[in-house]
A and B are shown apart, each in its own frame.
Chain A
Amino acid sequence: MTRMAETFAALPDRLLALLDSLLDRFPRRMGDIPAAVLLTAPALLVLGAFSFTPMVNALTLSLRGGKHGDGAFIGLGNYLDALRSGEFWQSLTVTIYYVLGTIPAMLAFSFLIALVLHRISRARGFFRTLYFLPYVTSVVAAAMVWRSLFNPRGGVFNLLMAWVGVAPQQWLLEPRGMLHLLTGGAVNASIGPSMALCCVMLFDIWHGCGFMIVVFLAGLSSIPREVEESARIDGAGGLRTLWHITLPLLSPTIFFLGVVGVVRAFQAFNSFYALTQGGGNTQDTRNLILYIYSQFYDYGYWGYATAASTMLTLAIVALTALQWRFVGRRVHYS
């Protein structure tokens, strides 16, 4: 038994020695290339099997017509069909509304809550747990509860509305735009996000803030206290310190959360699916992911769906690159 334990303990050293002897066999003029290849090979194998292969599969599928991926090669036909489809653009619009409606609000709320939590000294752990709790709750389970809260007949939100003297609302069943409802019909019902979409956004803001709060708290903790104290000694008030010291030093955190948040928002699925029973009966809550999902699973247009998902991937990559190019410049890393 002891001998076996000794053998296991010596295993890493023996593997390293084996690796060294293997690398020594390569000519020196090859430099670090053999080592780089060998060391990245396990990761490349896993990525190749589970990421690159499906990506290549999806790309080849997107060039085929018909259903279930067994149609003829049609080149970029599916891409052109998607660009000509009104439903594709409408679901993209819903996605953009969703991204614009959730990410800035989540960043703002999370920052404010993190700031308060950072400053308080009592029960900080309790409140951190409290705010993080929605994030660790299953989206589907939480969405089921929120669906009952949004129920137009007997739901808690309508009971609260009645309590404050406001007429009951249709919430998740309301396809008319928020602007239309808020302006009493002055704005066309199809302009802006619908009330149902706003309900989905509200749910995701509630659910997703916990993660951002934790990251913000980590960022705030890493700001040296003496920098803020020096600013105060120099006569800077709370708001000026926040604007000129805290926020610039927190910019890497904000940038990271912004990039990750936008990518996630473009890929949002669970909340939409669970709250609206698969995208709802109307187009106003069908984002691009749900549109792709229905084209793929419900209607069997695998080529078309993978073409749309390829375009979504390209859009996310382009947007992330733009964020790096324009917002990344304003980030202060020290």
Chain B
Amino acid sequence: MTRFRLWMMLAALSAACCLAGCGGSPKSGPTQGPSFRPLDTTSAVFWDRQITEIGALLHRLADEFNAAHPGLPIKVEYAGDYPDVFRKVSASIQAGVLPAMTVSYENMTAEYIPTGAALDLDLLIKDPKTGLTQAELDDYFPAALQPNRYADFGGKMYSFPLSKSILMLYYNRRVLAKAGLTAPPATWDEFLDQCRKIKAATGKPAHAISVDCSTFDAMVFSRGGDVIRGHETLFDSPQALAVLDFYATLTREGLAYRITPGTYQDNEALGKDEIAFTFRTSASRTDIMLLMQNDKTRWGMARIPQLDPAHPATVLYGPNVTIFNTTEEQKAAAWAFVKWFTSPEITARWAVGTGYLPVRKSALDSPEMKKLFDEWECNRAAFDCLDFARGEPNITGWQQVRDLVVRTLSEVLAGTREPAEAGRLLKQGADEVLARAGRG
């Protein structure tokens, strides 16, 4: 009997191990499935990526919100850069425990939706007590609001614009002056021409390249093209090939060099008067101002060059916020914070303090914004792009396509792939990725 019991015990132990191993994930399949457990029951945790002065401002605003609002306090936690935030959220979805909200790009949210983690914000927006009125909704810039509706998921709003930014051209006036130039380029041909003149005058590359998919997308947009139609990519279009050719020319002629990924060596080089140009988000304005030691005569920012300046286009990016499907208390606190943060007054303060753009039209009329515009003509440059800036694709699988774009650009810059072949292979690879993502 004892022996029998011992063997039964061992068998039960083995079965328990196997069953535990065979267990499914704790999350739900459909979009609005069972709630996830909150990361912290005493506060609504907000996973963010901001550091430096911008991060400090966000913490101050959260404190201000907490002081004025009852209910769960908002706790801002740094969760790394965007890829880190994405990985952290993905792992947390599997664990079944999530913060109240997180910063996210559309392509990141598109990956959270099928797991049931992202909350359908239409439910909160339409709430008669705590939602937004039609007048308030109309006050948001359509370009900021629209990319948060996901065509692949019934056109529902699964994220909300927190603050927007636009790809800008930052230029160093001192380096331009060395080549006898007084104004930044308006077209891509002028850009190449100015790079050549600067190289001839200084003997150094004029531009430092931070390889990035959004920059590539903006360049395609600015040439009148697009990167996707439906679920088919357009990386072999004349506009996309022109961008790849542009990068190949920059490298071949020694007009530009590539910076180490994940660094800000381009901003630093601009601040040291080593290069003339770099492309970065408008949110880099405050960082570059610090590098330029607040000397506005040394630098400037302008919209990116265009194929046809009369019909400009660029990319609108900047973080949204995704609220997670946790407890009602957490959702309410998160939504209250998002609503407050995107109110005309706060979005204007955030824009002035960071270089991001406000998400509300009425914010442009605020005294803070008017003062900012009066201080320096370049402060207006990003806002002037709002009329023609547009978002990037928000479909499932775009996260992986972005990596493919970066890889292709790196190959072209290294000279290991010709632009035409690179474009063809990129389209083929990206379409395969999207087809795979579509299969689910």
By a beta-carbon cutoff of 8 Å, the part of chain A in contact with chain B is: 25-27, 30, 34, 37, 45, 48-49, 52-57, 59-60, 65-71, 147, 151-153, 170, 172-176, 189-190, 276-278, 280-283, 294, 297-300, 302
Contacts and interface: CB of A to CB of B under 8 A. Distances in A.
A234 B399 CA distance: 70
10 contacts: A53-B21, A56-B18, A67-B111, A67-B440, A68-B90, A70-B24, A71-B440, A277-B261, A299-B397, A300-B90
Nearest to B23: A57
Nearest to A177: B416
Interface stretch (B176-184, B327-335, B350-358, B405-413): B405-413
Contact of A68 (B6, B27, B269): B27
Contacts of A65: 439-440
B86 A298 contact: yes
Given A68-B115, A70-B25, A280-B261, A299 B10 contact: no
B152 to A, nearest CB: 13
A161 B403 CA distance: 32
Contacts of B260: 147, 151-152, 172-173, 277
A298 B90 CA distance: 8
Contact of A300 (B23, B111, B409, B411): B111
Contacts of B18: 56
Interface string B1-37: 0110010001001000110111111010100000000
Nearest to A34: B6
B83 interface: yes
A217 to B, nearest CB: 37
Interface string B77-117: 00000010011001101100000000000000001001100
A173 B258 contact: yes
A36 B278 CA distance: 69
A189 B416 contact: yes
Given A69-B24, A172-B260, A299 B399 contact: yes
Nearest to B409: A281
B257 interface: yes
Contacts of A283: 407
Interface string B219-246: 0000000000000000000000000000
B91 A52 contact: no
Contacts of A54: 21
B27 A53 contact: no
A278 B83 contact: yes
Interface in B35-66: none
Q: Is the interface of B mostly helix, strand, loop or mixed?
A: helix
Interface in B245-297: 257-258, 260-262, 265, 269
B114 A297 contact: no
B130 interface: no
Given A70-B24, A281-B410, 15 more contacts: A26-B3, A53-B20, A56-B17, A56-B22, A59-B21, A70-B27, A172-B260, A173-B258, A277-B262, A278-B83, A281-B261, A281-B409, A298-B83, A298-B86, A302-B94
A25 B397 CA distance: 62
A80 B11 CA distance: 34
B144 to A, nearest CB: 26
A89 B115 CA distance: 30
Given A67-B114, A147-B260, A57 B90 contact: no
Interface residues of B, number: 48
A175 B411 contact: yes
A25 B2 contact: yes
Interface in B377-426: 397, 399-400, 403, 406-407, 409-411, 414-416
B211 interface: yes
A204 B257 CA distance: 27
A152 B437 CA distance: 37
Which 8 pairs between the two chains have the least Cβ-Cβ distance?
A56-B21, A281-B410, A277-B262, A57-B21, A297-B87, A277-B261, A48-B17, A66-B440
A298 B91 contact: no
A281 B211 contact: yes
Contacts of A53: 17, 20-21
B59 to A, nearest CB: 26
A57 B87 CA distance: 20
Contacts of B13: 45, 48
Nearest to B16: A48
B102 to A, nearest CB: 15
A20 B25 CA distance: 43
A57 B22 contact: yes
Contacts of A174: 414
Contacts of A71: 440
A126 B261 CA distance: 38
A64 to B, nearest CB: 9
B115 A153 contact: no
Contacts of B407: 281-283
Given A37-B10, A175-B410, A27 B3 contact: yes
A322 B415 CA distance: 40
A250 to B, nearest CB: 41
B399 A298 contact: yes
Contact of B94 (A69, A170, A294): A69
B20 A176 contact: no
Contacts of B114: 67-68
Contacts of A300: 90, 111
Nearest to A297: B87
B252 to A, nearest CB: 15
Nearest to A30: B3
Contacts of A175: 410-411, 414, 416
Nearest to B261: A277
A297 B86 CA distance: 8
Nearest to B2: A25
Contacts of B115: 68, 70
A110 B257 CA distance: 38
Contact of A297 (B24, B91, B416, B437): B91
Nearest to B25: A69
A299 B22 contact: no
B258 A294 contact: no
Nearest to B10: A37
Nearest to A49: B17
Given A30-B3, A283-B407, A52 B17 contact: yes
Nearest to A72: B440
Nearest to A44: B13
Contacts of A297: 86-87, 90-91
A55 B21 contact: yes
